[in-house]
Amino acid sequence: MGAPTGIDSQALGALAPVINPVAERFVAAGHRLYLVGGIVRDLSLGSLSGFDIDFTTDARPRVIKSLVAPLAEHVWTQGERFGTIGAQVDGLALEITTHRAERYDAESRKPIVTFGDQLDEDLSRRDFTINAMAIEVPDGTLHDPFGGAADLAAKVLRTPLSPEVSFGDDPLRMLRAARFIARFDLSVDDEVARAATELADRLDIVSVERVNDELERLLAIDDPSAGLAFLVVTGLLHHAVAPMSRDEAAVAAALAAAPGSALVRRAGLLWSTDVTAVVRRLRYSNQDRAETKALVTRVRDWVDNGRSSPADARRLIAASGVDAPLALAGNVGALTLVDSQHRDAAHRLVEMIDELVAAGDVGPYDSPLSGTDIMALLDLEPGPVIGRAQKMLRQHRLDHGPIDAAEAAELLQRWHTAP
């Protein structure tokens, strides 16, 4: 399999031992097989990693199964009614999909799928031109009818068909645009931005699970700021997350773009919302709901109620589930830049966290003595008093800072003998 111009030939060649035997079976049966989508885009960028091996073909699902099964360790048919057969070949997972057109009707959240015979028709229904390229296998011919390679080089995001058609077919593509803008440092074609603005309310028909997944993938990018800005200016954030004014949306986007863990960024995104209602509506896991609500609530409590002590800051860090206090400081620091109402209080919190970090006072905030240590020091058997002793030592650690084992033992003895 030769590599077309502009494609990472080394990476493509490494896949040939798996791809070529599959492709040769399709060709021998009178069908054509193409690598398609993200893998072609990433091969064009020379950045192939963590890739999905996706194919498209003119063969129908029943034929795909019969052709790939003799080479596969496993075959999956869960997506067969949508034209997709999955297989594991030489330890690699492949998905092979019949050429298709996929769209939404005016009210449905479910795609309507029809099978086709032409590659260009299939590519025309892809989300963006950078994902509408295909490499025919095994000969290696690049098919790029919509100029995806040129758009990658020019760093511009366009759709193969008009964006009104593309976003009408699948409104989630408007949200996905934000991720590609941020991930590949793309500018947005004017027609794409205009259509996303006009059709933003179409996002309301998309399932919350798909919306949530796309938002989380955006927040996982090193610097999601450009994508979040796109969601603000188009009004998509209003529909994806919760009703917000433009100012509130701008604050949320700035907070979510600050350095931090997924939890910290998510909390920033939901800062201006009824966080309890939003995490429920977007169907986060119970753990994600609890941690996100705790972080938003506790930071709000700090900035709204004049918290200022090191003990308050330690409790915020300890209770928020934030692994890196610097990430929390970065997110709250963004608040000092974008939210004038809470700027002074947020600035105090950032300073306090920075001081705790400099002093090495960022946890863990557990009791410095284990239950076994406490039983030995107090000559006690296991029982409720051991738990109460650990709780007391933890509260002391939060209130007063680091304490070593000797100091903890002295404090424990005084506590145990007090009336």
Q: How confident is the model at residue 117 (pLDDT cuts 50, 70, 90)?
A: confident
- Candidates 380, 375, 414, 419; CA nearest to 396 is 414
pLDDT of residue 199: 96
Task: Provide the CA 54 distance to its chain's centre, in angstroms.
Answer: 21
How many domains, the chain?
2
In a domain, 304, yes or no: no
Between 346 and 85, name the one with better pLDDT. Answer: 85
Q: How confident is the model at residue 278 (pLDDT cuts 50, 70, 90)?
A: very high
143 in Cβ contact with 40 (< 8 Å): no
pLDDT of residue 395: 93
In a domain, 13, yes or no: yes
The H or E element containing residue 301 is: helix 286-305
- Candidates 198, 185, 263, 261; CA nearest to 225 is 185
Report whether pLDDT(279) > 60.
yes
CATH of the domain at 100: 3.30.460.10
- Candidates 380, 208, 339; CA nearest to 281 is 208
pLDDT digits (tens, 9 = 90+) for 179-233: 999 999 999 999 999 999 999 999 999 999 999 999 999 999 999 999 999 999 9
Q: What are phi and psi of 199, to 5 degrees?
A: -105, 15
Q: Which domain holds residue 382?
A: 371-417
Q: How confident is the model at residue 13 (pLDDT cuts 50, 70, 90)?
A: confident
CA–CA gap between residue 183 and residue 417 (Å, rounded): 61
Tokens at residue 252, please? 């949320």
* Whole-prediction pTM: 0.82
Task: Tell me how far CA of residue 251 lies from CA of 48, 213, 237, 254, 304, in angstroms.
Answer: 35, 22, 12, 5, 17
pLDDT of residue 109: 53
Q: Of the residues 154, 177, 212, which one is the last residue of a structural domain?
A: 154
In a domain, 3, yes or no: no
The DSSP result for 83-129, as a single string, is TEEEEEETTEEEEEEE-EEEE--SS-SS-EEEE-S-HHHHHHTSSSG
In a domain, 150, yes or no: yes
In a domain, 276, yes or no: no
284 in Cβ contact with 290 (< 8 Å): no
Q: Going by C-beta distance under 8 Å and a sequence separation of 6 or more, which residues neighbour residue 148?
A: 41, 44, 128, 129, 130, 131, 132, 133
361 in Cβ contact with 310 (< 8 Å): yes
CA–CA gap between residue 161 and residue 167 (Å, rounded): 10
Percentage of the chain exceeding pLDDT 70 = 91
CA–CA gap between residue 206 and residue 234 (Å, rounded): 17
In a domain, 235, yes or no: no
Task: Tell me how far CA of residue 81 lies from CA of 61, 78, 102, 115, 205, in angstroms.
Answer: 8, 8, 13, 10, 22
Q: How confident is the model at residue 45 (pLDDT cuts 50, 70, 90)?
A: confident
pLDDT of residue 10: 78
Q: Of the residues 154, 187, 217, which one is the last residue of a structural domain?
A: 154
pLDDT digits (tens, 9 = 90+) for 363-405: 788 888 899 999 999 888 888 999 999 999 999 999 999 988 8
- Give mean pLDDT, residues 96-109: 72
Q: Of the residues 127, 154, 181, which one is the last residue of a structural domain?
A: 154
pLDDT of residue 213: 95
In a domain, 386, yes or no: yes
In a domain, 402, yes or no: yes
Burial of 292 (0-12, 13-18, 19+ CB in 10 A): buried
Q: How confident is the model at residue 254 (pLDDT cuts 50, 70, 90)?
A: confident
pLDDT of residue 126: 93
Percentage of the chain exceeding pLDDT 90 = 57
Rg of the Cα atoms in the chain:
27
Q: Going by C-beta distance under 8 Å and a sequence separation of 6 or more, which residues neighbour residue 175?
A: 203, 206, 211, 214, 215, 218, 231, 236, 240
Report whether pLDDT(136) > 90.
yes
CA–CA gap between residue 144 and residue 132 (Å, rounded): 7
Q: What is the mean pLDDT of the chain?
A: 88
Q: Specify the pairing of strand 92-98 against strand 53-57.
A: parallel
pLDDT of residue 326: 65
pLDDT of residue 1: 60
